[in-house]
């Protein structure tokens, strides 16, 4: 059984989706594992992980618009307002999505769709 850990930082420009596919693929390739599972975990409490399509940029635009509508900044229900206006909505988004993902590896590649 082969096990390996990698850590990397992803810089963002605030609210929105950040494509980490190449980072995860690169970390997976470094291990040389041909068949298995890559586990991706994010430690930040106001960030999360989703697997989405990159072929049509409209998918990401629509997803972000939906999340902004579902969990808006400035909602009068928020009591945690000590940080930036996007902080509490980000905490809710992370609770609704995922902080850990398991991605199958087949033939040395992440088994992702389009």
Number of domains in the chain: 1
* pLDDT score, position 114: 72
Determine the structural domain holding residue 44 and report its residue range: 21-110
Collect the ranges in the chain with pLDDT lower than 50.
Answer: none
pTM of the model: 0.82
Q: What SS3 class is residue 104?
A: strand
CATH number at residue 31: 2.60.120.460
* pLDDT score, position 50: 93
* pLDDT score, position 11: 84
Q: Percentage of residues in the chain with pLDDT exceeding 70?
A: 98
Q: Is residue 10 part of a domain?
A: no
* pLDDT score, position 1: 65
Interior/surface letters 38-73, b for 16+ CB within 10 angstroms, e for the rest? bebebeeebbbbeeeeeeeeeebeeeeeebeeebee
* pLDDT score, position 105: 92
């Amino acid at each position: 059984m082969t096990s390996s850990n990698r850590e990397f930082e992803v810089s963002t420009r605030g609210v929105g989706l950040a494509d980490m596919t190449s980072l995860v693929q690169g970390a997976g390739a470094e291990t040389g594992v041909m068949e298995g599972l890559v586990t991706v975990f994010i430690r930040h409490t106001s960030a999360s992980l989703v697997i989405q399509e990159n072929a049509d940029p409209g998918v990401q635009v629509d997803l972000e618009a939906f999340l902004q509508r579902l969990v808006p900044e400035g909602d009068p229900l928020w009591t945690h307002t000590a940080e930036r206006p996007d902080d509490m909505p980000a905490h809710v988004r992370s609770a609704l999505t995922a902080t850990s993902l398991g991605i199958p590896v087949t033939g040395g590649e992440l088994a992702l769709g389009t």
